[in-house]
Structure 1
Amino acid sequence: MALNSFSFILITFAAILACRLCAPRLMRELVVLLLSLYFLATFITEWDQLALLAAFLAIVYLLGVSKAANASFWSIATSFLIVALFWSALFLLKDPNLLGAVNPFHAHPVKLIGISYIVFRAITFVLEVAPGDRLSPLTFLNYMIFFPTLLAGPIERFHRFNETTEQPVPLEPASFDALNRVLNGFIKKFVIADNFMDLGIFSMMPHANDLSTPVLWIGAISTLALLYLDFVGYCDIVIGVSALMGFRIVENFNAPFASRNLQEFWGRWHMSLGSVIQDYVFSPLSKAVFVNIPREKQMYAIASIYVVTMVLVAMWHGTTIGFLIFGILQGAVLFAIQIRREFARARAKASGVRYAASQTALSLWTGRISTYAFVSLTMIWWQGSLPDAIMTYQRLVGWH
């Protein structure tokens, strides 16, 4: 069911009416769950898909209930194990050929719509549950399969979702800005992005030998902007729809192309994913490094954390060698930015002056353009085989 289909518009209209007319929380939650199940059912065609999803949701809920009832057994090691198991399950499910000998989905692949976002919601749910929390199975199911955000996020946090379920955002004149946002989202995604996506490098790569170098450059430079319009358009639609229903959903983008460097870019792009990675991977690992590793070796450990974190972000999107290379490159540059900043601070301290990053118009636009270009060009690794990507790079510089 596409977001521009009549069926989606119909269930969205029904959801908005039901959430606004059904005052009791129980009634609102039941209606939302039924509509979410109907939306999900349009993507589930096999019993094994339903069984796997039901089993996963049951396991996640029971883990949360167990933690709420008795958190004494829950340690940092337990949290790390849960995150690692969920990540591993996601990778094995998304790529049945990954570790084929031990992959339970190798012989019998199962495709589940929105599984990346469902797994991340599962991680935040289990890790955010506190001792004594009363967990409603109805709220939990709505959180996990909330139909506006099922396909592509944003990744909401459980307690935030629970709070907005209990106290819906009131429908005021200003709330109709959400309707304007929905319409803008439709224009970004379905009018601009969908109609111009063929300009992107991904659609050109299989035909790179037949294209001129200038056309390839147009594809390479336009892909990131088109992906942004596609993704931010989707987020505008679902955040706006959710607001009309009374749900406050987290923002996912904050003007990423205004970023002066790669660190700013990843802080502004897909922010709901970034916050989960920051809270449950990067920060705990960094803290462990500063506590347990001698100072003279911390630099190497932090560099590894940057690379590992960005590899996880990249391979969350795809488990190919190309995504691995993309993640390594992003992590390496992020670490280089930190090293450059530390050296600048050290030089400033030695000179007795206060460190301040350059804020000239030239440095600002140089940073923005170079950041956009770097992300755009490294995204070539995403699609096609390794030889395809290498050939595209060669064509871009005139070596082929």
Structure 2
Amino acid sequence: MLFSSNIFIFVFLPIVILLYYTIFRFKFKNLFLLVSSLIFYGWGEPKFIIIMIMSIFMNYIFGLLVDKFREDKSKAKSILIFSMTLNIVVLFIFKYLSFTIYNINMYGGYNLNVPSITLPIGISFFTFQAISYVVDVYRNDGKVQKNLFNVALYIAFFPQLVAGPIVKYSTVDYEINNRKETFKDFSNGVWRFIIGLSKKVLISNTMAVIADAAFSNIYSGISVSFAWLGAIAYTLQIFYDFSGYSDMAIGLGLMFGFHFEENFNYPYISQNVSEFWRRWHISLGKWFKEYVYFPLGGSRVKSNDRKIINLFVVWILTGIWHGASWTFVLWGLMYFLLITVEKFSGFDKRPCKKIWINHLYTLLAVIIGWVIFRSNTISEAGMYLKSMIGIGANGLVDNVTIMYIKENIIFFITGILFSMPVIDYITKKIKRKKIYAILEFSSSIIVFILFIICITYLVKNTYNPFIYFNF
């Protein structure tokens, strides 16, 4: 079930909110949200609920065992390592086994049977949250949950279940049993949900049409201008797709009293690649930093070689996390190289004094990265990048590029403009209370109008699945 679907907006969500705030407000509210989340997850593929329930029960037991043997550090650590290994094995089987066997056959000369395994939606997200639960209990960053249903709610809560943000257990540990729903949080949640819906339906989906047209025609040949237009369109598409989903998830969490951390902070204004990754998919970056990078020693290790190895491990895992494809591996390696150079040269802390050069370098690196990320194969990515510099391209400018620009110029301008903190800047500049009140009232009207426009798009069925559902 998609957040940007009629069944979710007009049926599922209203029913859940109504029942939550009437029948289940003061009793069994966690159980009700859990049941609602299982219905949400199982709407399209009910069989995958079994996988998630197994993950929940398995990690619930591990959490109890880690807490029970807390005083015996060696035994508790062994349980932790075993739990993480088992979680990763399950993730590997569903997400990477077919890819691994295929490559063994391809490069090893074997003829092993390649199993056809359907990827459960959101398995990377809920597996990482399950690992977070056991690790945080082990570290005493969160209290162990004796109630199985509370662990299940943390892992399966529908707002962040299938595409994040990845919620660390320690951030919602207290709110699982002690949250306070308020009208202010609920109204802010509705506002945030509509903003996210608008990002997805109005901008991301429009950009998707252009990006798909460019990338799908790479073998037949495209012009230099259309190659760049498609790459820029995808750069906007993936940002508004994923940040839009995160906005909706955070908004839904607020409606039920949960406060999730932000997942994006205007990444396209970054002055270097290191800064970009502090602003993009923040929850994933923090997860790898706290559960992989720091345990390896982080940047505090004495040897530079060890620092490089630590960065390599994090970024190769970041690439692989996104999918079983060599393009994701290459994408991760690209960022490993760029960030390693930035850190050892000091560029991440002392960028060029000419800010526009920093922005240009960062955006160019990010766009190239998204071309690799979007492509089906490395050779396809190579062909696309060649087209961007004129090698094998069908001319410099063509009518297709002009047509797409004319038809979508407003969406491009809007997408570029609001990828920067324009609203934040205006709000900070307005200090007079009366003007601020007018702005606040006007924004409410604008958000309502955006919601109506989004509904008209949804009625016409002009929406796409979220990109990060695949991960």
Normalising by structure 1, what TM-score?
Answer: 0.85
Q: Secondary structure at the match of 2:125?
A: helix
- Confirm whether residue 395 of structure 1 aligns to residue 387 of structure 2: yes
Pick from 364, 381, 384: which aligns with 2:376? Answer: 384
CA–CA distance in structure 2, aligned partners of residues 55 and 178 of structure 1: 31
- Please name the residue that 1:150 is paired with: 161
CA–CA distance in structure 1, aligned partners of residues 391 and 341 of structure 2: 29
Relative to structure 1, is the Cα distance of residues 91 and 379 closer, same or farther in structure 2, using a 3 angstrom cutoff?
A: farther
Matches within 5 A, 1:139-288: 139-173=150-184, 175-200=186-211, 203-208=213-218, 209-287=220-298
CA–CA distance in structure 1, aligned partners of residues 280 and 317 of structure 2: 15
One-letter amino acid of the structure 1 residue matched with residue 322 of structure 2: H
Deviation of residue 23 (structure 1)? 6.8
- Please name the residue that 2:137 is paired with: 129
CA–CA distance in structure 1, aligned partners of residues 371 and 280 of structure 2: 18
Relative to structure 1, is the Cα distance of residues 330 and 316 closer, same or farther in structure 2, using a 3 angstrom cutoff?
A: same
CA contact (8 A) 2:207 2:234 kept: no
- Please name the residue that 2:69 is paired with: 70
CA contact (8 A) 1:155 1:250 kept: no
- Confirm whether residue 365 of structure 1 aligns to residue 364 of structure 2: no
Q: Deviations over 1:190-216 (max 9, x none)?
A: 11111221222x552231133211100
CA–CA distance in structure 1, aligned partners of residues 350 and 325 of structure 2: 37
CA–CA distance in structure 1, aligned partners of residues 310 and 260 of structure 2: 29
One-letter amino acid of the structure 2 residue matched with residue 379 of structure 1: W
Relative to structure 1, is the Cα distance of residues 179 and 45 closer, same or farther in structure 2, using a 3 angstrom cutoff?
A: closer
Deviation of residue 251 (structure 1)? 1.2
Q: Secondary structure at the match of 1:286?
A: coil
CA–CA distance in structure 2, aligned partners of residues 287 and 241 of structure 1: 34
CA–CA distance in structure 1, aligned partners of residues 185 and 26 of structure 2: 23
- Confirm whether residue 114 of structure 1 aligns to residue 113 of structure 2: no
One-letter amino acid of the structure 1 residue matched with residue 356 of structure 2: W
- Please name the residue that 2:438 is paired with: none
CA–CA distance in structure 2, aligned partners of residues 394 and 65 of structure 1: 55
- Please name the residue that 2:310 is paired with: 305
CA contact (8 A) 2:222 2:387 kept: no
Deviation of residue 317 (structure 1)? 0.9
- Please name the residue that 2:90 is paired with: 89
- Please name the residue that 1:57 is paired with: 56
CA contact (8 A) 2:66 2:79 kept: no
- Please name the residue that 2:442 is paired with: none
CA–CA distance in structure 2, aligned partners of residues 170 and 57 of structure 1: 26
Matches within 5 A, 1:316-355: 316-341=321-346
Relative to structure 1, is the Cα distance of residues 367 and 210 closer, same or farther in structure 2, using a 3 angstrom cutoff?
A: same
Deviation of residue 111 (structure 1)? 2.6
- Please name the residue that 2:107 is paired with: none
CA contact (8 A) 2:210 2:230 kept: yes
Relative to structure 1, is the Cα distance of residues 116 and 64 closer, same or farther in structure 2, using a 3 angstrom cutoff?
A: same
Gaps of 5+ in 2: 105-111, 393-471
CA contact (8 A) 1:182 1:241 kept: yes
Q: Deviations over 1:21-69 (max 9, x none)?
A: 45766511111011111111213244xx344333332221111111111
Identity over aligned pairs, percent:
23
- Please name the residue that 1:350 is paired with: none
CA contact (8 A) 1:205 1:384 kept: no
Higher relative contact order (CA 8 A, sep 6+): 2
Q: Secondary structure at the match of 1:325?
A: helix
Relative to structure 1, is the Cα distance of residues 161 and 203 closer, same or farther in structure 2, using a 3 angstrom cutoff?
A: farther
CA–CA distance in structure 1, aligned partners of residues 187 and 160 of structure 2: 20
Deviation of residue 181 (structure 1)? 1.4
CA contact (8 A) 1:18 1:28 kept: no
CA–CA distance in structure 1, aligned partners of residues 136 and 352 of structure 2: 39
CA contact (8 A) 2:55 2:87 kept: no
CA–CA distance in structure 1, aligned partners of residues 299 and 230 of structure 2: 42
Deviation of residue 369 (structure 1)? 2.5
CA–CA distance in structure 2, aligned partners of residues 36 and 340 of structure 1: 47
Relative to structure 1, is the Cα distance of residues 5 and 137 closer, same or farther in structure 2, using a 3 angstrom cutoff?
A: same
Normalising by structure 2, what TM-score?
Answer: 0.73
Relative to structure 1, is the Cα distance of residues 190 and 371 closer, same or farther in structure 2, using a 3 angstrom cutoff?
A: same
- Return 104-113 or 202-211, whichever deviates more: 104-113
CA contact (8 A) 1:25 1:165 kept: no
One-letter amino acid of the structure 1 residue matched with residue 243 of structure 2: V
Relative to structure 1, is the Cα distance of residues 329 and 76 closer, same or farther in structure 2, using a 3 angstrom cutoff?
A: farther
CA–CA distance in structure 1, aligned partners of residues 122 and 200 of structure 2: 18
Relative to structure 1, is the Cα distance of residues 266 and 245 closer, same or farther in structure 2, using a 3 angstrom cutoff?
A: same
Relative to structure 1, is the Cα distance of residues 88 and 113 closer, same or farther in structure 2, using a 3 angstrom cutoff?
A: same
- Return 274-283 or 23-32, whichever deviates more: 23-32
